[in-house]
Structure 1
Amino acid sequence: MSNTGPDSSKPFDRASQNFSMDGQENEQQHSRGGPPPETGWRRRVRLRRQPSDGRSARWRRLRAVGVTLAVLTVTLAGVLIGTLAGGRVSTEVGPFQANLTVTPALHGGTTIDVPPLGALLLDSHDGPTQLTLQFGALDQDRTEALLHDPESLNRASQTAVDDIREGVLRLGARTVAATVLVTLLLALLVFRDTRRTAWAGALALVIATGSLGTAVATLRPQAIEEPRYEGLLVNAPALIGDARQIANDYTRYAEQLQQIVGNVSQLYTTVSELPVFEPQPGTTRVLHISDLHLNPAAWPVVQAVVEQFGIDVVIDTGDITDWGSEPEANYVASIGLLRKPYVYIRGNHDSGGTTAAVAQQRNAIVLDNTTTVVAGLTIAGIGDPRFTPDKSTSPAGSGLTGETADQLIDSGDQLAETARSAPQPVDVALVHDPASAGPLSGATPLVLAGHTHNREVYRLPQQPDQSPTLLMVQGSTGGAGLRGLEGEEPTPLSMTVLYFDEEKLLQAYDDITVGGTGQAQVNLERHIVENPEAGAPAPVTPTPTR
């Protein structure tokens, strides 16, 4: 039996028939103006590439997770960068310029940084934010205003908390704004999509406000009573005792200083009423100060004495600072305000940086085994060979090791050699520690020293063929700094006015004590040197003023 259809001689092939039918269909569609014909094999490939509905849903879920993680990563990066870049403000707290910063942290808390002394760590709050309050240098003008205006000192203590609170509020607002802005910019650069950028910005706002809100909600004001110490402040409890007691002492001390600064104005009247000694024309007046130890209250008193006593030269025998650190160097800027030659030698609490800062003052003269001529006086001086800011000041001759004693004596020998080889006789020699004065016996008629915080005047041992030498050890013009508050009463501020005649021999001297015995008084004690060449002082009855 024969096949009558087309190609009846070939067996039936369904694939060929499908191919032929597909081709006919595509040709018909193309002839009707449809899309280009699609051959059968192309159609089968296209159908095989289309995923199933399950695979499509899984792909959409993975893509959503990826986008979410990307938005979260960009947001966290933006919050971190924004906090580090914008989470800082500067504010005035009393006479200080304080910097407040907030940083991301695993545990909350507050750090009060007091350079160069160290830091106080407070467990003040929870949450992923760390607050740092760093006190900068004292502003000289505001500090002087506080010292000259008793009421401003009280106002500063009352407004300090408000100043910090206002600074913290500005810090919070600035941090939130910075984190949101940085996140928006970063998301726009990464996604180039408005919707995802908006989500990132909103998430950054939630994270920033939530972190700061957690800190506010968990705030513990009582944490200030239990600080942890870092740096040099580790020794603070041992040095100053109970914080409440030292606060009470300082309050009493501040009240006394308010009266003291006013009472200094009476010194000139007191001097003019002393008939025992009347400085002659041509007298050179020298103010000897020592061991200021960073006490800002010392400068107004020194300034008053310089002006009212007609001082020609100020001599500082060292320890103008406590630790010799770089931030302390700002303290010496008050030297320029004196507008008088300021002759200085380094103390054992003064570093090379401190010495350099003093030398930068326009009226300062730094001596280190050198001599100078000021107001007709030939002065030789040498700095203390030690740098021991971590040790308490000890009286001369006590607690000195053999090596330390040798150092001090060697420095005295060096200065004695310099004085003897000077082109003209040395009128005054300067050392910080009295232990260095011994070798200067006979090399100069007068040696000035400090260090012990205890005023003394006596002759140095001399050989039969030597001229007598008088050693004058000054007390602390800065009231021993912070150490002055350790006792029941604050250490008084001490300084001495020296009167030299036209021959540059010491004729008399006034010992000035401010705030002695814890009372608001100024005590002036006049001494006449009966035989200037012998250097023998004759004390006169003390003359106090209140």
Structure 2
Amino acid sequence: MTRLPRWARPLSRSGVDRSGGEPPRGRAARVKDAFGRVPWRRLGSGLGLLAVSLTGLALGLYLAAGTSVDVGPFRSTMAVTPSWYGDTEVVLPPLGSLQLDSHDGPARLMVRLDALDRARTEALITDPAGITAASRTAVDDVRAGVTRLVLRATAVAVLGAMLLSALVYRKMRRVAWAGGLALTIMAAAFGSAFGTFNPGALREPRYEGLLANAPSVLGNAQRIADRYDEYAAQLQKLVQNVGSLYATVQNLPVYSPEDNTLRVLHVSDLHLNPAAWGVIRTVVDNFHIDVVVDTGDITDWGSEPEKAFVASISLLKVPYVFVRGNHDSAVTQAAVAAQPNAIVLDNKVVKVAGLSIAGIGDPRFTPDKGMEPAGSGDSKQTVERVLDAGDRLADTIAKQRDEVVDLALVHDPLSAGPLAGYTPLVLAGHRHHREISKLGDDQTMLMVQGSSGGAGLRGLEGETPTPLAMSVLYFDDNRALMAYDDITVGGTGLAEVALSRHVVDDTPPGQAAAPGTPPRPTPSRTR
């Protein structure tokens, strides 16, 4: 007997197949399956794919999104990381970081200033127009770096999402969907960042680490940046004019240096100002300097990245005698000592170019302090340490029985007091303005130098930039100071260089010249 198909079999009222089979599934049940369990299953599958895509995207950004960018003299690294709030972080190891409210969105920009490129830094320092050129190209460097970063971050995010999807699903369709989702997410993130970009974020940075002291030390960063543009423009003219100083010196009355005169350039408190090196090199060349002496504070914070700044010492090609200031760390001192023509003095005596020179470093390391002399708000213990440095150097000089010390170097003038009578001349800095005085029984002259770096960035906070100050000292065959020229670059906001000739009065105290009377200047000025 032929068996009828299921659709042709008669059913009972209860829906039971009379032939003994199971009841067929009705249309309503099939519709419920189609619009019930299937959409939830698809939704769960979609969420899983999204989670896999986001995980792969994040892994790609964390592992391979960083790109190296040259910004001026800096070698830096830029990277994008996922974030709830966006913003930008600029890391300056080991000083700390700057937090900038630059944009909103799920993408955070990380900029790490890794190091200074020595070749580019030296070119920037030695070229009078290097600062202006660097400032002009810095914006283009950053723009090109951000563009490269966006392309690289997008590529690694899409690749990371696709690779993780391939490992999880092993289906090309799912891999393609993961790549599309990652591309959409990155486009939305970067679109949100560019759409909410805040160009005024640089005016209100949040400092972390050692940089937390920056607002109190440097003042408003935007105002300093504005002043520095003006300052750099002036210095381009100033450096050109310094070349005419040597001709002016030849026409000054009273004292004319002989060919065998020993010429010493006294600089102090450069405070990390790269513009100072161009002026110093010009003076060294045009005044035929034999020795440069530096009474400290060549850097601002004494940090590892600042070591590159002292590399310009080797470009001077003459001996460079240095004592540590309160802004100079042991790292700074070691970096100076590593220069082939540098001589670091820390409680010792050396003979350089025929001169016997003694020197001692400042006992403090207080990069967060200003230029006030010890005693202005310092503890009694700090003042005693500064005085003790002078005492220790005096003891060292006293042991030089067979050699007369021609001059001594200290950073803080307070350390010079104990040296009265041990040497005819003491050079110091620290106060950022020139002073001439006599110590003890008028047998020792104290010469305090101004800031050869214009007080660094702090010098730009006022209405007019702090001038760059340095002096050329002239010694005769007997190693006695005969005259000195005070050189001032800028100072009034004008493109000018001023030089004043001072002849040392060697009249014994109590006769024609009153004790302690400062040398009479003969000024000259070039523009």
Q: For this structure pair, what is the TM-score category when the shorter chain's length is used for normalisation?
A: 0.7 to 0.9
Q: Is the 8 A contact 1:268 1:308 kept in 2?
A: yes
**Residue range with higher mean Cα deviation, 135-144 or 409-418:** 135-144
Q: Is the 8 A contact 1:484 1:490 kept in 2?
A: yes
SS at match of 2:231: helix
Equivalenced residue count is 491
Q: Cα distance, 1:427 vs. partner?
A: 1.6
State the alpha-carbon separation in 2 of the partners of residues 301 and 97 from structure 1: 26
Deviations 1:479-537 (A, max 9, x none): 11112112221111111111222222212211111113332211111122232887986
Is 1:432 the equivalent of 2:411?
A: yes
Is 1:283 the equivalent of 2:258?
A: no
Q: Is the 8 A contact 1:260 1:514 kept in 2?
A: yes
Q: Is the 8 A contact 1:415 1:440 kept in 2?
A: yes
Is 1:447 the equivalent of 2:426?
A: yes
- Counterpart position of 2:513: none
Q: Cα distance, 1:170 vs. partner?
A: 1.0
State the alpha-carbon separation in 1 of the partners of residues 131 and 283 from structure 2: 23
Q: Is the 8 A contact 1:506 1:532 kept in 2?
A: no
> Alignment partner for residue 539 of structure 1, among 501, 520, 525?
520
Deviations 1:227-247 (A, max 9, x none): 434345545555555556444
- Counterpart position of 1:328: 306
- Counterpart position of 1:518: 493
> Alignment partner for residue 305 of structure 1, among 283, 287, 295?
283
Is 1:485 the equivalent of 2:460?
A: yes
State the alpha-carbon separation in 1 of the partners of residues 141 and 505 from structure 2: 58
Q: Is the 8 A contact 2:407 2:426 kept in 1?
A: yes
Q: 1:444 to 1:388 in 2, by over 3 A?
A: same
Is 1:469 the equivalent of 2:444?
A: yes
Q: Is the 8 A contact 1:147 1:258 kept in 2?
A: no
SS at match of 1:517: coil
State the alpha-carbon separation in 1 of the partners of residues 132 and 324 from structure 2: 35
Is 1:460 the equivalent of 2:450?
A: no
Q: Is the 8 A contact 1:396 1:452 kept in 2?
A: no
Q: Cα distance, 1:156 vs. partner?
A: 4.3
Deviations 1:6-44 (A, max 9, x none): xxxxxxxxxxxxxxxxxxxxxxxxxxxxxxxxxxxxxxx
Is 1:75 the equivalent of 2:53?
A: yes
- Counterpart position of 2:503: 528
- Counterpart position of 2:102: 124
State the alpha-carbon separation in 1 of the partners of residues 286 and 460 from structure 2: 29
SS at match of 1:527: strand
Q: 1:179 to 1:406 in 2, by over 3 A?
A: same
SS at match of 1:399: coil
AA aligned opposite 2:291: V
Deviations 1:188-237 (A, max 9, x none): 34444434333333332233233222222333334444443434554555
Deviations 1:364-411 (A, max 9, x none): 111111121111212111110111111111035533432121111111
- Counterpart position of 2:391: 413
Q: Is the 8 A contact 1:239 1:486 kept in 2?
A: no
- Counterpart position of 1:212: 190
Is 1:495 the equivalent of 2:470?
A: yes
SS at match of 1:368: coil
AA aligned opposite 1:430: L
SS at match of 2:179: helix
Q: 1:250 to 1:131 in 2, by over 3 A?
A: same
Deviations 1:74-101 (A, max 9, x none): 3233211211122222323344444322
Deviations 1:413-472 (A, max 9, x none): 11101111135222211111010111111111211111111111211013xxxx811111
State the alpha-carbon separation in 1 of the partners of residues 127 and 348 from structure 2: 41
AA aligned opposite 2:433: N
- Counterpart position of 1:8: none
> Alignment partner for residue 268 of structure 1, among 223, 231, 246?
246
SS at match of 2:462: coil
Q: Is the 8 A contact 2:390 2:416 kept in 1?
A: yes
Q: Which runs of 5+ in 1 are unaligned?
A: 1-52
State the alpha-carbon separation in 2 of the partners of residues 461 and 166 from structure 1: 62
**Residue range with higher mean Cα deviation, 297-306 or 120-129:** 120-129
Q: Cα distance, 1:294 vs. partner?
A: 0.5
> Alignment partner for residue 363 of structure 1, among 334, 338, 341?
341
AA aligned opposite 2:445: L
- Counterpart position of 1:31: none
Q: Is the 8 A contact 1:528 1:537 kept in 2?
A: no
Q: Is the 8 A contact 1:442 1:468 kept in 2?
A: yes
State the alpha-carbon separation in 1 of the partners of residues 191 and 226 from structure 2: 36
Q: Cα distance, 1:167 vs. partner?
A: 1.5
AA aligned opposite 1:362: P
**Residue range with higher mean Cα deviation, 315-324 or 503-512:** 503-512
**Residue range with higher mean Cα deviation, 316-325 or 132-141:** 132-141
Q: Is the 8 A contact 1:505 1:533 kept in 2?
A: no
Could you tell me the TM-score, scaled by structure 1's length? 0.81
> Alignment partner for residue 258 of structure 1, among 236, 246, 252?
236
AA aligned opposite 1:543: S
Q: 1:152 to 1:128 in 2, by over 3 A?
A: same
SS at match of 2:464: coil
Compute the RMSD of aligned alpha carbons: 3.1
**Residue range with higher mean Cα deviation, 297-306 or 533-542:** 533-542
Q: Is the 8 A contact 1:507 1:532 kept in 2?
A: no
- Counterpart position of 1:394: 372
Q: Cα distance, 1:332 vs. partner?
A: 0.7
Q: Is the 8 A contact 2:374 2:386 kept in 1?
A: no
- Counterpart position of 1:24: none
- Counterpart position of 2:7: none
SS at match of 2:522: coil
SS at match of 1:182: helix
- Counterpart position of 2:330: 352
SS at match of 1:538: coil
- Counterpart position of 2:11: none
AA aligned opposite 1:496: S
State the alpha-carbon separation in 1 of the partners of residues 271 and 431 from structure 2: 13
Q: 1:241 to 1:354 in 2, by over 3 A?
A: closer
Show the 5 A alignment for 1:108-187.
108-114=86-92, 118-139=96-117, 142=120, 153-154=131-132, 156-187=134-165
